[in-house]
A = this chain, B = another copy of it.
Amino acid sequence: MDFEEFRTRGKEMVDYIADYLKTVERRPVYPLVEPGYLRPLIPDSAPQQPDSFEDLMKDVERVIMPGVTHWQSPNFHAYFAAATSFPGLLGDMLSGAIGCIGFSWAASPACTELETVMLDWLGKMLNLPEEFLAGTNGVGGGVIQGTASESTLVALLAARKRIVTHMQAKSPDLEEAMILSKLVAYTSEQSHSSVERAGLIAAVKMRKLPTDEKFSLRGEVLKQAVEEDKALGLIPFYICATLGTTSSCAFDNIMELGPICNSENIWMHIDAAYAGSAFICPEFRDLLNGVEFSDSFNFNPHKWLLVNFDCSAFWVKKRSELVGTFKMDPLYLKHDHQDSGLITDYRHWQIPLGRRFRSLKMWFVFRLYGVKGLQEHIRKQVDLAHEFESLVRQDDQFEIVGEVVVGLVCFRLKGSNELNEKLLKGINKMRKIHIVPCELREKYVLRFAICARTCESKHIQYAWQNIKEIATDVQAGRQ
């Protein structure tokens, strides 16, 4: 494909994308395919000679689209949102074209420096404590990670390094393996599976603590666990607190947890993967109170802040603690400016070495929406969640589980888990809307998340209509 053909095909693709997004709600939101559907539809090996672009695009409709779960459909209410926006798409196109790999400052200074400044912009939008910002002389700062899972892991590894260094400074004879065997990390029973996984990867104990009636981890519970573990000779060193859990969007009480962590030398990481975007609105900023006690904080603009995946924003108070975890400098990655205080080599901040120019899409989104535009998006989606909540509350057959704080509504038919499982299956089988369940204190619960950027009141009404109809069938034993 030469330059001129790219101009033509690129513009056709832009139109295809606009058409796709404009009409996506007409497609069944959840695909009607069985496992293994795709393999028989295409050849079993790559063509020797080039295929034509026309044939390829025909196959996008024939092979791909029938198997897509349409996350961008306004009828998609499963998991949490996966952000996209036009500015985000445009920024990402440019990033692909520049095609630089920004592992060090020198590998592409703009890639590194725009990222540092965008994380400062975003930190200011959230009103994060000054210590988390890089500024010109800061000791903290932000970085784009791929996912919240990686942020949790990176924080855990930094915490592990910090405690090992600390213990060995006190007792130089202590072997690392001995220390590792005594480490204990905490999180709530409601936290994301990736937290437990981070413990597995880092080979440390991860203790899941019980939550209160609002599914929130409280200070007293942590305090007791720490005391128990210390009495057993273990070394508490890390907690991952969640603001906005995946199951029910519950908020751990970081105002209570924070001071305990600080006095016990426990690294507090806060995972606000989903809910974090809401904190750019002053009316939701209180939910972040207590962040000042934490060592690291993370949320995913790629969930709810209109920046395409992947873009997980991660801040740390002391960048030296993060960098010290990973630093290795082979000659082929060294560069002249390396030891300047102004230099950031982001490869020391993350698991992968390579990294795309992801801050471009943030810059495009922030500038083309403006803070007001982003706040509007959040507020509109929270309003839609409350609209759905009030529909549920008006119906005696249903109950709300937990609280609707931002954009997630947990609800269920009053009655057995079996009934609710049938309801969920019925809904997804209809393919008009798509939702997923969760389990809360042994209750099978349905999660209704406001996802697509284009979701409007009419889609909420449409969804509720569907749910009601299927609920009637289920109650009548017709599903």
Residues of A within 8 A of B (CB): 1, 3, 5-7, 9-11, 13-18, 20-22, 31, 33-39, 42, 44-51, 53, 55-56, 60, 63-72, 79, 82-90, 92-94, 96-101, 105-111, 113-114, 116-117, 120-122, 124-125, 136, 146-150, 153, 157, 160, 175-178, 180-181, 192-194, 196-197, 200-203, 246-247, 302, 308-310, 325-326, 328-333, 336-337, 340, 342-343, 351-354, 356, 360, 363-364, 366-373, 425, 436-439, 444, 447
Contact = CB atoms under 8 A, between A and B. Distances in A.
B42 A18 contact: no
Nearest to A338: B35
Contacts of A7: 14-15, 18
Contact of A10 (B17, B22, B343): B17
A108 B351 CA distance: 26
B89 A93 contact: yes
Nearest to A302: B354
Contact of A150 (B45, B56, B351): B351
The DSSP consensus for interface residues of chain A is helix
Given A64-B360, A201-B351, A372-B48, A6 B18 contact: yes
A318 to B, nearest CB: 19
Contacts of A325: 200
A111 B64 CA distance: 8
Nearest to A343: B35
16 contacts: A6-B90, A10-B86, A13-B94, A14-B93, A20-B97, A37-B109, A50-B369, A56-B363, A68-B111, A93-B96, A147-B353, A197-B328, A200-B325, A309-B356, A333-B436, A336-B425
A51 B83 CA distance: 20
A33 B121 contact: no
Contacts of A196: 328
A10 B90 contact: yes
A397 B10 CA distance: 48
Contacts of A336: 425
B16 A14 contact: no
A146 B64 CA distance: 22
B200 A50 contact: no
Given A146-B146, A193-B333, A354-B309, A14 B17 contact: no
A107 B69 contact: yes
A51 B330 CA distance: 42
B96 A367 contact: no
Given A37-B109, A149-B353, A332-B247, A46 B370 contact: yes
Given A196-B328, A372-B49, A5 B109 contact: no
A439 B71 contact: no
Q: Which 5 A/B pairs are nearest by Cβ-Cβ distance?
A: A67-B110, A10-B14, A177-B181, A38-B113, A35-B342
B84 A99 contact: yes
Contacts of A67: 108-110, 113
A18 B447 CA distance: 44
Contacts of A342: 35-36
Given A192-B330, A331-B437, 9 more contacts: A6-B18, A10-B90, A35-B343, A50-B370, A50-B373, A56-B368, A92-B92, A149-B351, A149-B352
Q: Which one of A9, A50, A83, A176 has the greatest number of beta carbons of chain B within 10 Å? A: A50
B113 A39 contact: yes
Contact of A110 (B64, B114, B330, B438): B64
B113 A96 contact: no
A109 B46 contact: no
B35 A364 contact: no
A124 B14 contact: no
A93 to B, nearest CB: 5
Given A50-B373, A368-B56, A35 B105 contact: yes
A10 B136 CA distance: 35
Contacts of A89: 6, 10, 93, 96-97
Nearest to A32: B109
Nearest to A326: B197
